Amino acid sequence: MNTIIKKVDYINPKNDEDVFLEAASIIKNGGLVAFPTETVYGLGANALDPIAVKKIYEAKGRPSDNPLIVHISEISQIYPLVKNISKKAEKLMRVFWPGPITIIFNKTDLIPSETSGGLSTVAIRFPENKTARYFIKKAGFPIAAPSANSSGRPSPTRASHVKLDLNSKIDMIIDGGYSEFGLESTIIDVSSDIPCLLRPGSVTKEMIENTIGKISVDKAVLEKLENGERPKAPGMKYTHYSPLANVTIINGEQENVISKINSLIKENIEKDLKVGVIATEQTKGKYICDNIIVIGDRNNLKEIASNLFISLRRCDNLGLSQVYAEAFNETGIGMAIMNRLKKAAGYNIINV
């Protein structure tokens, strides 16, 4: 299949009306279109069409029990899709939508079980990104979209990443620049009395608690689950975000981290392994290593979040076999950064 790739004016999408009409026509005919959102690029199909949705699973190589997020472009689109909207959900929608947070509701029959991975609930997201919203609006129906990467690979924050993973497997990629936040949306389940955070993101636990009070955090967010334990978001059980290299996180005081990584670098070089470090602006000059990937300023976690997946992809571009990454504080967006980093590292963490 030939994958059409078209750039659009992401500040004023109306200037590229013809591209959006082409994309809308493809998705209306049951095709797959990747599009940018403020979190990561999504791979879209008509959320209400089980045959179209199945194609998403095939293109990504995604297990069919892993439900998809349904994207809308205006609030009124949610009512036919969900059974009830609790007071807390309503508050979250009012404060954070449109934006990088996904909310889980009980679904109506309009959502096919292919979209919800066989669950009785559905995840709904109202993105802020103008290209995403204009595309959904032109399609005229809600769009199911997982991150537009091959299953298990880091999520794409640029159209070029989507092309690398999915070229010739999907109909079209709308290139609307880079994804500002760079980490997938926060996911919160408000269907029970105490809302539960299933995936941390740029809308932080602290921001949510300031809005609706105390929430719980699914165990899978913070640590590796034991055999047989299940995360509440099925997708959190899969190894995810991994570059091809082996990633190890080093956690501790900065000076200790630097000296530990330097001694590990020596060991790798002696074994003839190509080694790299995911370092920060503060530490980039302190490692005895040629392959330094600077993820950003340690004091600007928003910048670190937005560079995380591209940094993991760089490990592959450099052909590294071992990568050491500095740890970050798990407060605010730090919780989301460490959640993705720990998964990339297969929970391989050395405390120093």
Positions that interact with Mg ion (CB under 5 A): 147
CA 78 distance to own-chain centroid: 22
Of 236, 279, 315, 341, the one binding ligand TXA by CB under 6 A: 236
Give Cα 2 to chain centroid, integer Å: 26
Binding track over 77-106 against ligand TXA, x by CB under 6 A: -------------------------x-x--
Binders of ligand TXA among residues 150 to 209 (CB under 6 A) are 184-185, 187, 198
Q: 93 with 153: CB under 8 angstroms?
A: no
Based on the shown chain and the rule CB under 6 A, indicate whether residue 66 belongs to the binding site for ligand TXA. yes
Q: Which stretch binds ligand TXA (CB under 6 A): 170-178, 230-238, 246-254, 307-315?
A: 230-238
User: Cis omega (within 30 of 0) on the bond before 142?
Assistant: no
Q: Which does 185 bind (CB under 5 to 8 A by kind): ligand TXA, Mg ion, none?
A: ligand TXA
Cα distance from N-terminal residue to C-terminal residue, the chain = 50
174 neighbors 19 (Cβ within 8 angstroms):
yes
Closer CB to ligand TXA, 234 or 252, in the complex: 234
Rg (CA), the chain: 20
User: Looking at beta carbons only, is 93 or 279 nearer to ligand TXA?
Assistant: 93
What is the total count of residues that contact ligand TXA (CB under 6 A)? 28
Q: Taking a C-beta distance cutoff of 8 angstroms, is the pair 143, 118 a contact?
A: no
Which H or E element spans position 57? helix 50-60
Partnered with residue 87 across adjacent β-strands are none
Chain CA centroid to CA 127, Å: 13
- The entry of Mg ion, ligand TXA, none near residue 37 (CB within 5 to 8 angstroms by kind) is ligand TXA
CB of 146 to Mg ion, least distance (A): 5
Biggest CA-to-CA distance, the chain? 62
| Closer by beta carbon to Mg ion, 123 or else 277 | 123
Q: How far is the CB of 244 from Mg ion (least distance, A)?
A: 18
Q: Does 144 bind ligand TXA (CB under 6 A)?
A: no
Q: Which is nearer to ligand TXA, 185 or 339 (CB)?
A: 185
Stretch that binds ligand TXA, among 46-54, 72-80, 121-129, 164-172 (CB under 6 A): 121-129
Q: Which of 141, 140, 148 is nearest to 68 (CA)?
A: 148
Cα–Cα distance, 79 to 70 (Å, whole number): 13
By C-alpha distance, which of 233, 45, 236 is closest to 121? 233
Q: How far is the CB of 314 from Mg ion (least distance, A)?
A: 19
* Interface positions with ligand TXA (CB under 6 A): 37, 39-40, 42, 66-69, 102, 104, 116, 119, 121-123, 125, 145-147, 184-185, 187, 198, 232-236
